[in-house]
Structure 1
Amino acid sequence: MLVVGLTGGIATGKSTVSSILAAPPHNIPIIDADLIARQVLDPGTPAYKEVLSHFGPSILLPPSSSSSSASSSSEPLPIDRAALGQRVFNSESDRKVLNSIVHPAVRKEMAWQVLKCYLRGEWVVVVDVPLLIETGLWKWVGRTVVVYVSEQIQLQRLLARPPIPPNPPLTREQALSRINSQIPLPQKLPYADHIIDNSSPLPTVSQSITHLVRSWRRESESFPGWWWCWVCPPLGLFRAAWVLAGRGKRVERRRKNTRGGGASGKRREQEEEVELKVMGGGRRERD
């Protein structure tokens, strides 16, 4: 089974790409790390208790903003995710604490869901992880897809998002703070096996995704074949180890090329720009 990591940056349209992959004719199972992260912070969970212990009750929704069932004094109040987000986006130390609490729980649930897809006989599964690069999870997927737009488009889309009641719309400074809390998108490109330019019209993006899925299908049908790996788990583990080892070497070569200075470094940057425009979601072939 091919495990694909889907990532990008805030407001790059990663959810749009994910929804296209999940819909017919592709019908690819999606494991959404954001959704899991919300679930692991549900009232009463171990992660909820740890977060509340560190950040205090100021990050909780007031009783009037909660559902009638949660407003009872006998039940814990939900976390105000906007307030928590505002705090961690403006404090690297708080962000590290939150990640140290949430990420292990998310990884555990993601691994379990990947296993369930494998047991169902799926030929591919996409794990949608905003911090795929930052957390090092790119090392554990067979292919990495980066959804790319310019920072200007990121900012425009983020400012256009409707606020989560009762919070006001984001200011420009708040939006930039959220963008800057993540690795800049150009620095994620060396990790990408595929790049989707999501500044293109939706039909163009959809067509790029179709070509991309076809390339995954061809890859999965190559020797030893995904169904052999399903029948013989040791063979699947061997193939996975072989794929991951090869990916690590390719990523390191790309990063060295990107860091290269002088004319060669500038030439590589120009090649990346041209590659991004012409690929539209296609697979890198030079590496």
Structure 2
Amino acid sequence: MSAAAKPQLAPAPTQASGATPPVYRVALTGGIGSGKSTVADRFVARGAVLVDTDAIAHTLTAPGGTAIPVIRQRFGDGMITADGRLDRAAMRELAFADPTARKALEAILHPMIRAETQRQVQAAAEAGAEYVILAIPLLVESGDWHGRVERVAVVDCPRETQISRVMTRSSLSREEVEAILRAQASREARLAVADDVIDNGGELAALDPQIDALHREYVARARAARHGGQVGRSGPLP
């Protein structure tokens, strides 16, 4: 469920003597159906390391996941499927109806997501990654991003395109998709925090030139940040 993926990352570290240089972090966000996964895959194909907070949340709530016993204790067996995973549809319905339930789920999941995110980011730094793409679907809604990543890239497309894509790939009705969209930040709110906007409203082939240009920029920014000895919120390249 998307409400599970709102990690609050630790502030970007400075480099201590002899320590692993911090890795440059680009937050990738966008509304449901915007094509974040497609964009993320293209960055990975060019050499970026992906840390996907939604994937982390799914692992935590899969059968045998670390979060399952805590969720079961808090919400009861009704939120766990027969095979032992989080019943995401039931939890989504409850979260829409009861904001306190959503906050309770976030209180369980966010520390776990944060810890695993930091572990993966550190592993990427130790492996010498040029930069990390942090896929954070609800980055805007979390309200805790400034100073914690170096760049924010927003995948953008028209609302009707989002609705069509989600209905095509899922069993959700238009009304259900629209309810999800209403619960997310508006398109305008996402664009307001963007350093970079990736237009994914058309053909897939139109993505590649955009990703090529951004990949080159992120590599340049990452190298400039390492040369400066620390990673921080970035402005124009020198």
Corresponding residue to 1:86 among 72, 85, 93? 93
CA distance in 2, matches of 1:124, 1:215: 11
CA distance in 1, matches of 2:125, 2:223: 16
Instruction: Name the structure, 1 or 2, with higher relative contact order (CA <8 Å, separation 6+).
Output: 2
CA distance in 2, matches of 1:156, 1:6: 22
Counterpart in the other structure of 2:110: 103
Counterpart in the other structure of 2:209: 207
Range moving further from structure 2, 206-215 or 52-61: 52-61
Q: Does 1:138 align with 2:150?
A: no
Corresponding residue to 1:12 among 34, 40, 43? 34
Q: TM-score, normalised by structure 1?
A: 0.69
Corresponding residue to 2:48 among 11, 24, 28? 28
Pairwise mapping of residues 36-51 of structure 1 onto structure 2 (< 5 A)?
36-51=56-71
Tell me the CA shift for residue 118 of structure 1.
0.7
Q: Does 1:197 align with 2:199?
A: yes
Q: CA RMSD in A?
A: 2.0
CA distance in 2, matches of 1:136, 1:178: 18
Deviations 1:56-76 (A, max 9, x none): 2112223xxx3xxxxxxxxxx
Counterpart in the other structure of 1:156: 164
Which amino acid is the alignment partner of residue 192 of structure 1? Answer: A
Instruction: Classify the secondary structure of the residue corresponding to 1:138.
Output: coil
Structure 1 regions of 5+ residues with no counterpart?
Answer: 67-76, 163-168, 230-234, 248-284
Q: Is the contact made by 1:90 and 1:177 (CA closer than 8 Å) also made in structure 2?
A: no
Q: Structure 1 residue runs of 4+, over 6 Å off?
A: none
Aligned residues: 213
Q: Is the contact made by 1:8 and 1:14 (CA closer than 8 Å) also made in structure 2?
A: yes
**As a proportion of its length, which structure holds more helix?**
1
Deviations 1:76-104 (A, max 9, x none): x2222232223323432222221121111
CA distance in 1, matches of 2:43, 2:217: 14
Describe the shift of the 1:15–1:90 C-alpha distance in structure 2 as closer, same or farther (beyond 3 A): farther
Deviations 1:175-224 (A, max 9, x none): 111111111121111211100111021111111111111111222333xx
Corresponding residue to 2:130 among 123, 129, 138? 123
Tell me the CA shift for residue 45 of structure 1.
4.5
Q: Does 1:3 align with 2:25?
A: yes
CA distance in 1, matches of 2:189, 2:155: 13
